């Protein structure tokens, strides 16, 4: 202990602080999965990972393309002649064909309604790296960005940890489907001013993680008006742009900028993108920072030396994304498959009375378990979450880890598993809810007959015991 303390004194504040957020419940759920991962035959009672926003539904299309295009890789007989040129290339501007292909892809994903200049495309190690780079470019330690809640938990790591920048919540509520309002933005801004914190920007994530919703034109316009009036930056994380699977369609902040060249100062607007979600390549670490501000582009490009995309990956992506027929087919097919998954899961849950926020994008949905909470507090939410992890054996993420202002919401990821695993997951959660209902009913009957007065403590024992376990003999398969 003493030894640890001394070691800590020898290290930097960043090395010894908790800013990474690794200890939050969001990551705890991943640990629970890691120590007991579900496998259909080797570990059928293990934890199913539903806390990972990965898009694995269309990998067959990618594989098919890779097989048909051997010259795209420098590690094939057909592509090896490029090996030397690619291996020695180290310009932090990136391969011109990569920047062109990415800019074109970003346009396509936005329905060809906007244009992107390849010279403004800056590479980064995923959107993670792009967010941090922007925070370094736009704010000094102690200054702040406003972020609507609930928001992606790792923004705390990405924007704050190493930069010393703060994130201040804009509280959004379920009463209007967590929509961002002018009033909420003003309240958060005023609060920062009262605390003498300088606000440097507004950080939006559209489509939203964790809500799975897209922002409408009026909201985007209002956000643009807000940042213009306050003369602060607008960072828009559009990493889920191509995951929209039904109406209303996605509207990029680029559209709002292009439509209102006189009203909005484009130099205040910056877009974060990546191929981690839309193509499902988080392992490739292809992050993009797109800014309308020349100074930001210049500075970010220099900073990109710390997180370049490897040239080998640039080469492959350039070829793949230049194949417009493939790209169109992929985007259409991927959103169709996401839609099917979403409908299968959310309809299966609504049949047993579990609602979720109406959404049409992302790789997850926002499940409403408020009525299952024993008390409407964060503690109540965490208690239910522990039952879901330990008894139901599903790693879903509690709303509190997304800074949600209301307890009882959980993010459920649905695109990182195969059809069979989805069926098992749905069955588990339906059984859990039905048994909770029947336990509650039985308890009610007993109460009314005044046979026993069951204390809450005792009720907990029943619910926490085998009755709720997905593996108990009472669990019957409800969904085939």
Ligand X SMILES: Cc1ncc(COP(=O)(O)O)c(C=O)c1O
Q: Using CB under 6 A, list all residues that contact ligand X.
A: 53, 126-128, 152, 205, 209, 237, 239, 274, 276, 282, 287
DSSP assignment, residue 36? Answer: S
Nearest approach in angstroms of CB 356 to ligand X is: 18
| Residue 403 DSSP SS3 | coil
147 or 387, CB closer to ligand X?
147
Nearest approach in angstroms of CB 374 to ligand X is: 30
**Residue in 270, 286, 148 with CA at minimum distance from that of residue 209:** 148
Q: How many residues are listed for the chain in this entry? A: 480
Nearest approach in angstroms of CB 156 to ligand X is: 12
**Residue in 249, 253, 280, 282 with CA at minimum distance from that of residue 268:** 253
The Cα–Cα gap between 297 and 48 comes to: 41
24 or 274, CB closer to ligand X?
274
74 or 202, CB closer to ligand X?
202
Nearest approach in angstroms of CB 388 to ligand X is: 21
Spot the catalytic one: 239, 251, 331, 354. 239
The Cα–Cα gap between 278 and 286 comes to: 11
163 or 274, CB closer to ligand X?
274
Tokens of 90: 């180290």
Spot the catalytic one: 28, 156, 237, 368. 237
263 noted as active-site residue: no
Strand partners, 355: 368
Nearest approach in angstroms of CB 228 to ligand X is: 24
CA triplet 449, 452, 458: central angle to 5 degrees?
Answer: 130
User: Is 160:19 a contact under the CB 8 Å cutoff?
Assistant: yes
239 noted as active-site residue: yes
344 noted as active-site residue: no
Spot the catalytic one: 33, 152, 273, 342. 152
6 noted as active-site residue: no
128 or 313, CB closer to ligand X?
128
User: Is 117:90 a contact under the CB 8 Å cutoff?
Assistant: no
User: Is 198:144 a contact under the CB 8 Å cutoff?
Assistant: yes
Residue nearest to ligand X (CB): 126
Q: Is the dihedral of CA 70, 75, 56, 108 positive or negative?
A: negative
The Cα–Cα gap between 224 and 35 comes to: 45
276 or 475, CB closer to ligand X?
276
DSSP assignment, residue 57? Answer: T
Nearest approach in angstroms of CB 440 to ligand X is: 35
Spot the catalytic one: 277, 317, 342, 354. 277
Residue positions annotated with a catalytic role = 152, 237, 239, 277
């Amino acid at each position: 202990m003493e030894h640890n303390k001394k070691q800590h004194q020898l290290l930097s504040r960043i090395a010894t602080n908790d800013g990474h957020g690794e200890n939050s419940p969001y990551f705890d759920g991943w640990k629970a999965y890691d120590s007991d991962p579900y496998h259909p035959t080797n570990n059928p009672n293990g934890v199913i990972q539903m806390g990972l926003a990965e898009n694995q539904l269309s990998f067959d299309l990618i594989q098919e393309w890779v097989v048909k295009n051997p010259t795209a890789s420098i590690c094939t007989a057909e592509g090896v002649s490029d090996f030397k040129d690619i291996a020695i290339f180290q310009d932090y501007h990136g391969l011109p064909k990569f920047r062109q292909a990415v800019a074109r892809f970003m346009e396509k994903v936005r329905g060809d309604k906007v244009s992107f200049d390849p010279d403004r495309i800056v590479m980064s190690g995923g959107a993670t790296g792009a967010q941090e780079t922007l925070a370094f470019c736009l704010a000094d330690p102690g200054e702040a960005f406003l972020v609507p809640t609930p928001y992606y938990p790792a923004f705390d790591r990405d924007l704050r940890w190493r930069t010393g920048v703060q994130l201040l919540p804009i509280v959004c509520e379920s009463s209007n489907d967590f929509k961002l309002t002018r009033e909420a933005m003003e309240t958060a801004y005023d609060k920062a001013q009262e605390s003498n914190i300088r606000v440097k920007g507004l950080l939006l994530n559209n489509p939203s993680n964790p809500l799975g919703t897209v922002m409408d034109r009026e909201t985007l316009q209002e956000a643009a008006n807000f940042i213009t009036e306050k003369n602060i930056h607008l960072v828009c994380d559009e990493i889920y742009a191509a995951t929209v699977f039904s109406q209303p369609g996605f509207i990029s902040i680029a559209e709002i900028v292009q439509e209102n060249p006189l009203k909005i100062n484009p130099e205040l607007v910056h877009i974060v993108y990546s191929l981690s979600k839309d193509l499902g390549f988080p392992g490739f670490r292809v992050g993009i920072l797109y800014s309308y501000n020349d100074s930001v582009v210049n500075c970010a490009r220099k900073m990109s030396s710390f997180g370049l995309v490897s040239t080998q990956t640039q080469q492959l992506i350039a070829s793949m994304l230049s194949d417009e027929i493939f790209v169109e087919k992929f985007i259409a097919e991927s959103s169709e498959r996401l839609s099917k998954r979403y409908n299968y899961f959310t309809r299966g849950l609504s049949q047993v009375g579990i609602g979720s926020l109406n959404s049409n994008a992302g790789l997850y949905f926002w499940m409403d378990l408020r009525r299952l909470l024993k008390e409407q507090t964060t503690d109540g939410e965490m208690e239910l979450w522990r039952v879901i992890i330990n008894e139901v054996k599903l790693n879903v993420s509690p709303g509190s880890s997304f800074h949600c202002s209301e307890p009882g919401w959980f993010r459920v990821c649905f695109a990182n598993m195969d059809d069979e695993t989805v069926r098992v997951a749905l069955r588990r959660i339906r059984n859990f809810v039905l048994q909770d209902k029947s336990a509650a009913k039985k308890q009610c009957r007993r109460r009314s007959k005044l046979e026993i007065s069951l204390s809450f403590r005792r009720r907990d024992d029943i619910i926490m015991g085998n009755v709720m376990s997905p593996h108990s003999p009472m669990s019957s398969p409800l969904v085939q």
